[in-house]
Structure 1
Amino acid sequence: MSLPTSTRTALGAIFAADALSTEPAECLAYAYDNSRRESLPDAVVFPTREEQVVALVRLCREHAIPLTARGRGTNTTGASVPVSAGIVASFERMNRILRIDPDNRMAVVEPGVLNADLQAALKPHGFFWAPDPTSAPYCSIAGNIACNAGGPRAVKYGATRDNVLALRAVNGRGESFRCGKPTSKGATGYDLTRLLVGSEGTLAVITEATLKLTPLASDKRTLRATYVDIGAAASAVARIMAQPVTPCALEYMDDQALRLARNHAGGSIPEAGAMLIIEIDGETDALPSAVAAIRKAASVDGLLELHAASDAAEVATLWAARKALSPALRTIAPNKINEDVVVPVSRVPDLIAGLRDISLRHGIPIVTFGHAGNGNIHVNLLYRPEDPTQAANAPACLSEVFDLVFALDGTLSGEHGIGLVKREFMPRAIDAVSLDLMRRIKAQFDPDGILNPGKLLPD
């Protein structure tokens, strides 16, 4: 349903002609995200100032128009798909790094800044921002905030929620507010900053973020550990995370993921039942003892080889192969079901064993890899819709995956969020009282339900 002429005129009073489009062909580019779900918006606008966002939200509230805030569309759960049409606000032009403050270990940025651009700007100052998702070269900071993005470094340095100090935002009433402070500690009222992180644009539209920075380590070592099977690798993960030295990355790949990695990187990726990529960072003098502790913990029954990367090129090859996995899986299974479940680290072996049983029972290949150091495993169901047996079994297979995760005291998502595709499972993941509290919070921030409707909370 297209916007009335009066609404288009009102939008034109807020946004210049080159910052507003209602042409279907132009709007189509903002109709989908990496989930491959699609819904055409009635209009797309490109804010560059907070005042425009305030005026836009007030206009949408007055006319009951759905409003979907969008970064760069890298989300895999449909969180930025405008399922109720309405207006998409793309923040790609609101992309300035406003301040880098090394003395206070913080940076202030607009929502559309790309993660990789921020990292590049921070490096000369000797700092980095901890979240490092695979999509870092083309995902935005506000998108990271919306879904609480993580990445390999989260095992030591935390996900987005642990690395945001303050936010400016506009709620569903069209009120601009600031939450948090540029301090590392605070005990003043409810923590609205952490509440907004991971809320997927359903509570407020972010217009500025103050980010916590971390000094770059002086040195780093990268290890490659291969195992006879995925059970042995999972046991090694639990042992590594139970000793004092925390790796800055602990990535896991099963045997099928390794085959794909070899297709990408050739013989530099060994044949094995499973592999871990382990990185340890810190001061150069302290690294030998840290590496020795990790080696000891990783040396479980079933270890085939524990190899230290010899140079930067080998390290780059390992990481390139790991980061190529998700797109590679999509090329061989365009309709794969990709989940990023989380369980306590000590239960990772139970999760891996249970997934093998589920895969055999339903006849659907399951490929696993991911951030094993914090129990965040990417579970990929490679079913073929044209195969009637697999198509019939896929829903029950996915349901059993979540049953297993819940039985292990885990949760639905570690970094991708809930969006559109996992809403139906929320009542199984969260108790009824908690869900009701979440709905009441949503009503306080967005009483008319205009902000990213149809996402996160189930009907």
Structure 2
Amino acid sequence: MSIAVILPALRAALDTERVRDDSDTLSIYSRDDTPGSCLPALVLFPRSHEEVQAIVHIARRHHLPLIPRGAGSGNVGGAQPVPGSAVISFECMQEVCDYSPADRTITVEAGMITAAINDHVVQDGLFYPPDPGSSPYCRIGGNLAMNAGGPHAVKYGVTRDYVLGLRAVTGCGETLCCGVRTSKGVVGYDLTRLLVGSEGTLALITEVTLRLLPLPMAKATLRAAYANTASACAAVQRVMAQRRTPSALELMDPHALAAVRSMGAATDLPAASQALLMVEVDGESETIPAQLEAVRQALAGDGNLEILEATDAQATAALWAARKSLSPATKAMAPLKINEDVVVPVSRLRDLLEAIEAIAQEQSLHIVSFGHAGNGNLHVNFLVHPENHEEMRHARQGLQKLFQTVLRLGGTLSGEHGIGSTKREFLPLELSPENLSIQRAIKKLFDPDGILNPGKLLPEG
């Protein structure tokens, strides 16, 4: 395949300025937030559904692999190019197509920044609940691709729970409109939920209709310190067993606390603290005191060292400071952070943390764990030096043991980051050959030539 042959058709479909093959642009779009990179052959910037459709028709004729990209904030290689591919960046598609406060829906293009959706609807007392940590800069199309979650998923759910309908282009270049604009609808197979989380391997989503919720009138936060992770995990179970579900429930293990302390955060914690829980409640103002009291009682118990409360914005920000500093803190500790996001039932969270500690000791690895305890969703970070081949071999063995442990505990290999290129080889640990065979058949139906995000999600047959 010669890129020079394809360029005239692409420039006719878009324009010269939005079909880029200069070295600076190719370098920028050669990577996402995953280690490693691969220079694409082209970067394309469509402005409409019709232009995306035209790109797919041209790509199919010339067997050009297409790599859809939002903001490139994913960390499993979901937006990394493959040799000879064209990256389709959706950053020029950020329009609000329709907004109906009365129906509590908004329809936006795939390039819309996630946080901007809330900026658009907040004046009407509404909000879009999914809140990945990258929401100030990630794009809704990437959230759809990976079925993103966030801290508030414990109460409000993940991206898929708020997608009513969407518009997309299949690997055949066909327009697919699926779903509804109503709160109920059960006509035919649910292709909407199939496409959300498919990582751009089945169709390129260009437009989505999202369900909105009334904005909570008030919120408050509790921070609880513990002498050990076992006590913190027991408290998580007590919090999740109470009548009202918290809007966030985050956990930091001893190594996470050490990381943030090294950055000068969490300096006010009791010296003996070895685990930390952050709990947020929200709702009507008059319900907050009762919710706080119930959560406070659940947090108290063996191993609890301290419980602090915040109800105003400044105090809340101070309590969350340690959690917010975790990502830069861990990145500063080693040249490479292998970030996994496994999930187990909440009742098995303690077992998982004990297994992670055992893996760290057996393999002589530095592992930092934190995450969304209310969902049993932990971000397990292997901090390694890629030039140390022995350490990398131990890390690979540790990953295999981690995944086997998660599945033994009744869990799953990914809660919100997706599979991408970095985890697809592990899918047969969780999915049966029959399951994978059906998924490959679905891929073939939507994308018969295999041009949509090749090398992602499904392992080789």
**1:305 maps to amino acid:** E
Give the Cα separation in 2 of the matches to 1:305 and 1:95.
45
The match for 1:291 is: 292
Question: Once the 2 structures are TM-superposed, how far is the Cα of residue 389 of structure 1 from its aligned partner?
Answer: 4.3
**Partner of residue 197, structure 1:** 196
CA distance in structure 2 between the aligned counterparts of 1:129 and 1:261, rounded to whole angstroms: 30
> What is the CA-CA distance between 1:388 and the residue it aligns to?
5.2
Counterpart check, 1:217 vs 2:216? yes
The 5 A counterparts of 1:153-168 are: 153-168=152-167
Specify the alignment match of 2:19 in structure 1. Answer: 20
- Structure 1 residue 37: deviation in Å? 2.3
1:334, distance to aligned residue in structure 2 (A): 2.1
Distance 2:311 2:101 in 1: 32
Matched length: 458
Alignment of 1:45-60 (within 5 A): 45-60=44-59
- Please give the residue correspondences for 1:344-383 in structure 2 after superposition, counting only pairs within 5 Å: 344-383=345-384
Whole-Å Cα distance in 2 between the matches of residues 160 and 143 of structure 1? Answer: 10
Per-residue deviation, 1:385: 3.5
- Is 1:170 aligned with 2:169? yes
Q: CA deviation at 1:70?
A: 0.6
Q: Which runs of 5+ in 1 are unaligned?
A: none
Alignment correspondent of 2:423: 422
Answer yes or no: is the 8 Å Cα contact 2:335–2:386 preserved in 1.
no
Please name the residue that 1:143 is paired with: 142
Does residue 183 of structure 1 match 2:182? Answer: yes
* Aligned equivalents of 2:207, 2:55: Cα separation in 1: 16
Q: With structure 2 as the length reference, what TM-score do the two structures score?
A: 0.96
Shift in Å, 1:384: 2.8
Q: Which residue of 2 aligns with 1:405?
A: 406
Listed one character per residue, the Cα deviations across residues 27-80 of structure 1 (whole Å, up to 9, x for unaligned) are 111110000221111111100011111111011111111011110100000100
Does 1:267 find its partner at 2:267?
yes
Q: Which amino acid aligns with 1:189?
A: G
Contact 1:232 1:303 in 2 (8 A): yes
CA contact under 8 A between 1:163 and 1:212: conserved in structure 2? yes
- Shift in alpha-carbon separation, 1:6–1:386, aligned structure 2, 3 A: closer
CA displacement 1:359-411 (0-9 Å, x = unmatched): 11111121110111111100011223344542331111111111110101111
Structure 1 residue 455: deviation in Å? 0.2
Alpha-carbon offset, residue 6 of structure 1: 2.5
Aligned residue in 2 for 1:439: 440
Structure 2 SS opposite 1:380:
strand
- CA shift at 1:306, angstroms? 1.4
Alignment RMSD (CA, Å): 1.5
1:14-93 matches, within 5 Å, as 14-93=13-92
Question: In 2 relative to 1, CA 266–238 (structure 1 residues): closer, same or farther, beyond 3 Å?
Answer: closer
1:307-339 CA deviation, whole Å, 9 max, x = no partner?
A: 112532121133343133123211221212110
Distance 1:222 1:162 in 2: 25
- Once residues 193 and 321 of structure 2 are traced to their aligned partners in structure 1, the CA distance between those partners, rounded to angstroms, is 32
Cα separation, 1, equivalents of 2:244 and 2:78: 36
Q: Is the 8 A contact 1:77 1:416 kept in 2?
A: yes
- Contact 1:100–1:107 at 8 Å: present in 2 too? yes
- Quote the sequence identity (%): 49
Give, in whole Å, the separation in 1 of the partners of 2:269 and 2:30: 38
Q: CA deviation at 1:270?
A: 4.8
* 1:230-278 deviation line (CA, Å, top 9, x unaligned): 1111111122112221000001111221233332535345541100000
Question: d(CA) in 1 for partners of 2:268 and 2:127?
Answer: 29
Secondary structure of the equivalent of 2:237?
helix
Relative to structure 2, which stretch is displaced further, 231-240 or 168-177? 231-240
Does the residue aligned with 1:76 lie in a helix, a strand or coil?
coil
